[in-house]
Amino acid sequence: MSSNGDQSSVLSKPRLIIQRVIPNTQNDGDGAIVRRSIGSMELRRLDPFLMLDEFVVTVPAGFPDHPHRGFETVTYMLEGAFTHQDFGGNKGTIRTGDVQWMTAGRGIVHSEMPVGEGVNRGLQLWINLSSKDKMIEPKYQDLLREDIKIAEKDGVEVRIIAGECMGVKSPVFTRTPAMYLDFTLKPGAEWQQSIPESWNAFVYVIEGEGVFGSLDTSPQHAHQLLVLGSGDGLCVWNKSSQQFRYALIGGQPLNEPVAQYGPFVMNTQAEIHKAFEDYRFHKNGFEKARDWSSQSSLKMRNFKKQSKLI
């Protein structure tokens, strides 16, 4: 028996897992630990997605002042809290369950640092912007935990960060069309989720274990990224005795050339060169980077001075 509760009918062509990425932990930023799945050697990109990091950071580590151009970053806190500060005076803290959807566009320089003691953990996803959107004005969409709509049916709970599920829509504007759903399935629960056929899609397992695609496959575990093949949706089963949590993320491919150098993602090498120049000479969106340092960077500099580290 299928317990499909979506308004769409039962899937006609369920997607199967075509690649599994089990990311190793690596260091990034200043002492931060990340599990990079998309953006790694194993999975360079998954159009329109450029990077997915599960990050774990404890004070004083973090991601000090750095630039972005040409894409969006989506930060979803799973545990703890992070503060961001940018060169335009924007400042905010995201806590467990909150999301910051940042469209870097032509340029953002910011710091992303943990707030308090203990474990600060989350997912950061990079979504590419189409050539016509790469140089738009930066924009933030902040979603507090209590603003994220939750839908529930037959032992399936979903937090709708972007897109639509069970007839409930997220208010997030996705400039590159995308869906971002955080599912929790009770033991014994199953779900069929429709996904536009032309989109690329993947799953990141957050907690527990579950079966994807076809019932005769073995269960998938936490910290794994599963790339989905073609089809009109995804079937999932929780055959375990614990709750099972995963993020289902999909997006419309841009089918454009990608030129990337770290936090600058453009279409051509010449545009990357230009991004470097603009950043270095504080032009074309990086004007405010002149004489700017985040408070956390200044604090760290003073701390190092006092400790005679520099």
- Measured from the CB atom, the residue of 56 and 166 that comes closer to ligand FJE is 56
Q: What angle do CA 67, 199, 251 make, to 5 degrees?
A: 25
263 lies in the binding site for ligand FJE (CB under 6 A):
yes
294 lies in the binding site for ligand FJE (CB under 6 A):
no
Part of the chain binding ligand FJE (CB under 6 A), chosen from 15-23, 28-36, 180-188, 194-202 = 28-36
In whole angstroms, the minimum distance from the beta carbon of 83 to ligand FJE comes to 10
Rounded CA separation 22/47 (Å):
19
Work out which of 262, 306, 307, 309 binds ligand FJE, going by CB under 6 A.
262
Residue 40 near residue 76 (C-beta atoms within 8 A):
no
Copy the structure tokens of residue 88: 């335009």
- Measured from the CB atom, the residue of 15 and 84 that comes closer to ligand FJE is 84
Q: What angle do CA 293, 297, 300 make, to 5 degrees?
A: 150
Rounded CA separation 178/186 (Å):
26
Residue with tokens 């004005």: 137
In whole angstroms, the minimum distance from the beta carbon of 126 to ligand FJE comes to 8
Part of the chain binding ligand FJE (CB under 6 A), chosen from 27-35, 150-158, 169-177, 185-193 = 27-35
In whole angstroms, the minimum distance from the beta carbon of 296 to ligand FJE comes to 12
In whole angstroms, the minimum distance from the beta carbon of 95 to ligand FJE comes to 13
Q: Hey, which residues between 216 and 255 contact ligand FJE (CB under 6 A)? A: none
Q: Hey, which residues between 29 and 58 contact ligand FJE (CB under 6 A)? A: 29, 34, 53, 55
66 lies in the binding site for ligand FJE (CB under 6 A):
yes
The count of chain residues that interact with ligand FJE, using the rule CB under 6 A, is 13
The letter for the amino acid at 118 is G
112 lies in the binding site for ligand FJE (CB under 6 A):
yes
Instruction: Report phi then psi at 295, rounded to 5.
Output: -60, -35
- Measured from the CB atom, the residue of 17 and 34 that comes closer to ligand FJE is 34
28 lies in the binding site for ligand FJE (CB under 6 A):
yes
Rounded CA separation 203/220 (Å):
10
Work out which of 75, 85, 103, 128 binds ligand FJE, going by CB under 6 A.
75
- Measured from the CB atom, the residue of 84 and 159 that comes closer to ligand FJE is 84
- Measured from the CB atom, the residue of 76 and 246 that comes closer to ligand FJE is 76
In whole angstroms, the minimum distance from the beta carbon of 114 to ligand FJE comes to 9
Q: How many residues does the chain have?
A: 310
63 lies in the binding site for ligand FJE (CB under 6 A):
yes
- Measured from the CB atom, the residue of 51 and 228 that comes closer to ligand FJE is 51
Copy the structure tokens of residue 101: 């959807």
The region that residue 171 occupies, defined by phi over 0 for left and psi between -120 and 50 for alpha, beta otherwise, is alpha
Q: Hey, which residues between 118 and 137 contact ligand FJE (CB under 6 A)? A: 124
Residues that bind ligand FJE (CB under 6 A): 28-29, 34, 53, 55, 63, 66, 75, 82, 112, 124, 262-263
